[in-house]
Amino acid sequence: MGNGTNHVLITAILNYPVYLDTINVNECGPDGSGCPNANDAPVCAFLTNGQLIPGAQVISTFDTASATTIKDAMATPPGDLKQTCDGPFAGCMTAPCKLTKAGTAQCLCPVFWGRFQLVGADAQCSLGGDLVPSASYTPALDPDPNAPPDAP
């Protein structure tokens, strides 16, 4: 988590009680549209106070350097999005991280199996070996959200 604005995908909040507080009808709602200001989301108080994941020195949040890539993907008509995949993926958003001696963050991302989406021209659903992509899932971007997942 940097010192600037941090963005979190609501469906990627790994602390379930904080997720429930954030989507509460009186707060942000399930899609975040009820939050008039970015810092109004309950999850934000937990990010800045270091309480989202106990023991974490920092929390993995959205990298604003990727904003253009993600905005481009969001603008892509769902039928044209070719990065919807089924399989294992790492859910790194809101994952707990520790700072290394070199000053970089090393995060412990849970691995899930299911439908996920990737952005970028070189996005690959399978990385080979024991590597999995870090990803998330937005149903509105899925060209066929009711399709059964591919077999593992």
Q: Which region among 18-27, 43-52, 84-93 has the lowest average model confidence (pLDDT)?
A: 43-52
| Closest of 115, 134, 56, 118 to residue 81, by C-alpha | 118
Per-residue pLDDT at 102: 93
What's the mean per-residue pLDDT of the chain?
77
Per-residue pLDDT at 80: 47
- Give the amino acid at 17: P
Per-residue pLDDT at 17: 92
Share of the chain above pLDDT 70, in %: 73
Provide CB contacts within 8 A for 38, sequence distance 6+.
5, 7, 44
Provide CB contacts within 8 A for 61, sequence distance 6+.
1, 2, 6, 7, 8, 47, 93, 94
Rounded to two decimals, the pTM is: 0.70
| Helix (H) or strand (E) segment spanning residue 21 | helix 16-23
Mind listing the pLDDT tens digit for each residue in 71-88?
565 565 544 445 788 899
Q: Are 90 and 111 in contact (CB under 8 A)?
A: yes
